[in-house]
Amino acid sequence: MTNNKAPVCGIEFINEEKVAIVKENFPDENEIFELAETFKMLGDPTRLKIVLALLISELCVCDLSALIGVSVSAISHQLRYLKNMRLVKFRREGKVVYYSLDDNHIVTIISETQKHVREN
Amino acid sequence: MTNNKAPVCGIEFINEEKVAIVKENFPDENEIFELAETFKMLGDPTRLKIVLALLISELCVCDLSALIGVSVSAISHQLRYLKNMRLVKFRREGKVVYYSLDDNHIVTIISETQKHVREN
DNA sequence: TTTTCACTTGAACAATTGCTCAAGTGATAT
DNA sequence: ATATCACTTGAGCAATTGTTCAAGTGAAAA
């Protein structure tokens, strides 16, 4: 089954069997999409800083703005994103809204990735 | 030191001390940037599929194109990106270029993130 | 009730991203 | 030499992203 012509695109499959084996062991499309979504969520410096901060302590929007150095509005937009992704939760105390992490796995994901960047 | 006026932006710091403590325990700007870069790299479905595939087997550009269902050119562009990020390496065998993973940590990062998406 | 404060929200905008297309490279086959 | 094949590359383009700005909301103080 090696070196057959693909009828549609005209590309020769160098190794159809290998491709088939990989396909069998592949996560389903939906899981891949969710994996990518999770990585994308952490792939923006502002959002990552928010998560890193909340990893240490519960904080209000104003604190996060001062700490990270971007506008309250920008922080709020990103917090909504993270809230929709169910990574953070919040509680209201008078006028102040406190955000905290609503996830157990993120610590491990981040520390594993820290190992990665430190050893490269 | 709580509830002081910030002279510049007019925002009240709800908790300056807490912000200071977080700041002390924060990774430096450069590490945060590299962390975000790593997550961003895995945050695109096409690139993630390439990595997931190479996690199983060494493959050529043509195989990856057939497996993932995007053009050879698109795959090649993403492989260059991943090569620059030193996540993949390649070897030439005649006309065919085989790509494989050049990283040990990525397996752990991905499987930890799989736990995350499966339990949410 | 009115004002103030902490935050949210939607629109708008520039910057970035991932793709396609067409041309180009390097290695083998003819 | 010439052609073919596997892949690379740069330009161009539509879609997405992260931010700002201005207006709006909800809670508490005046």
Closest nucleotide over all strands to B96 (CA to C1'): D6
Q: Binning pLDDT at 50, 70 and 90, where does residue B2 land?
A: very low
Instruction: Please tell me if residue A56 touches chain B, with a CB cutoff of 8 Å.
Output: yes
CATH code reported for the domain at A11-118: 1.10.10.10
Residue with tokens 């820290």: A114
| B34:A65 CB<8 A | no
Question: What is the CB neighbour count within 10 angstroms for residue A78?
Answer: 22
- How far is Cα A54 from Cα A34, in angstroms, rounded to an integer? 22
Mean pLDDT of B3-20: 63
Q: So what CATH class is B15-118?
A: mainly alpha
Please report, for residues A29, A62, A89, B34, B87, the alpha-carbon distance to residue A97 in angstroms, rounded to integers and kept in the order given: 37, 9, 10, 30, 40
At a CB cut-off of 8 Å and minimum separation 6, what does B57 contact?
A18, A21, A22
Lowest mean pLDDT among A4-13, A15-24, A46-55, B14-23: A4-13
Q: Binning pLDDT at 50, 70 and 90, where does residue B12 land?
A: low
Sketch the domain layout of chain B as residue ranges.
15-118
Token output for B73: 């050119």
Token output for A82: 């993270």
Spell out which residues of B between 63 and 92 contact strand D, using CB within 7 Å: 65, 72-73, 75-77, 79-80, 90
3-state secondary structure B15-77: CHHHHHHHHHCCCCHHHHHHHHHHHHHHCCHHHHHHHHHHHHCCEEHHHHHHHHCCCHHHHHH
Per-residue pLDDT at B14 = 75
What ipTM is given for this predicted complex? 0.92
Per-residue pLDDT at B1 = 34
Does the nearest atom of strand D lie within 7 Å of A70's Cβ? yes
Does the nearest atom of strand D lie within 7 Å of A115's Cβ? no
- How far is Cα B100 from Cα A92, in angstroms, rounded to an integer? 49
Give the chain A residue nearest B93 (alpha carbons): A14
Per-residue pLDDT at B5 = 37
Lowest mean pLDDT among A6-10, A28-32, A89-93, B79-83: A6-10
CA-based nearest residue to A61, from A49, A75, A48: A75
Instruction: Determine the 3-state secondary structure of A24 from DSSP.
Output: helix
Distance from CA of B80 to the nearest CA of A (A): 18
Render pLDDT for B21-75 as a digit per residue (tens, 0 to 9): 999 999 999 999 999 999 999 999 999 999 999 999 999 999 999 999 999 999 9
Mean pLDDT of A60-86: 97
Per-residue pLDDT at A101 = 98
| B67:A11 CB<8 A | no
Per-residue pLDDT at A110 = 98
Q: Binning pLDDT at 50, 70 and 90, where does residue A13 land?
A: low
